[in-house]
Structure 1
Amino acid sequence: MSQLLTTLLLFCLLPSVDPLFCYTCVFPAISPLDCLKFPTRCPPGQLCLSSKSVGKRGDFQVILYEKSCVLPVFCGITGEKFAMGVNFTFTNDCCNTQLCNGVSTNSAFFGPSTLLSVLMIFLYLQ
């Protein structure tokens, strides 16, 4: 009986693991302020992601932002993707505290209507 009591006591003293909540954008946005974000509970072992993609084709340039949960292997990387004639360079930054991938304070505002103009690009990127 004392062994069972000791096991239960040790189990109660273990630290609890709180789930990590991160912001997730409904759609990628061309401004961090355009992100239609909502808190999402991340699966165990994942971190909060803030990703920025810069797309260029000639003089045309668009910057896209995305927020979500991601496996740590995708954190701190930069890469390239080519879609619909536009070359995108992306950077993934991660953090591990509650809702830490919120809105950046030093970003410019472009208004929600600009999201519709590049929505088709995003649909083909995925």
Structure 2
Amino acid sequence: MAYLKPPWFVRAVFNRIAMATGLGHSETLTVTTRVSKQPQQIPVVVPEVDGVKYLVSTRGESEWVRNIRADPRVTLGKSSYLAAEVPVDRRAPIIAAYRPLAGKVVEGYFRDLPDDADHPVFALTPAR
């Protein structure tokens, strides 16, 4: 699966600002890393479709995607969820809801990775 690595500025500066301020409707996603078991935090935009919250990876097979596949327990803000990957044939309406929320900044990623299969999507169920 494809992956578009974020530039240094996004990793080192923009992501921190987005998480601290909620810039662009972003929320902070916390996952557990596969090897070190340490928390990884990334800003995400979370579309809601038919009452279900989703995570969409605009850059493809990212580290946070691999981490969720290894441990589906995630935190979004202060709420805990279990993440379940959505099959490719069910991703289109979720991605369609995501794109206007995320804004023009993500359009280049969808141009470079036009196939829904290149954008992992996870449904979030509140953890009990």
| TM value normalised by structure 1 | 0.27
Q: More helix per residue: 1 or 2? A: 2
Q: More strand per residue: 1 or 2? A: 1
Mark the structure with the bigger radius of gyration: 1
| TM value normalised by structure 2 | 0.26
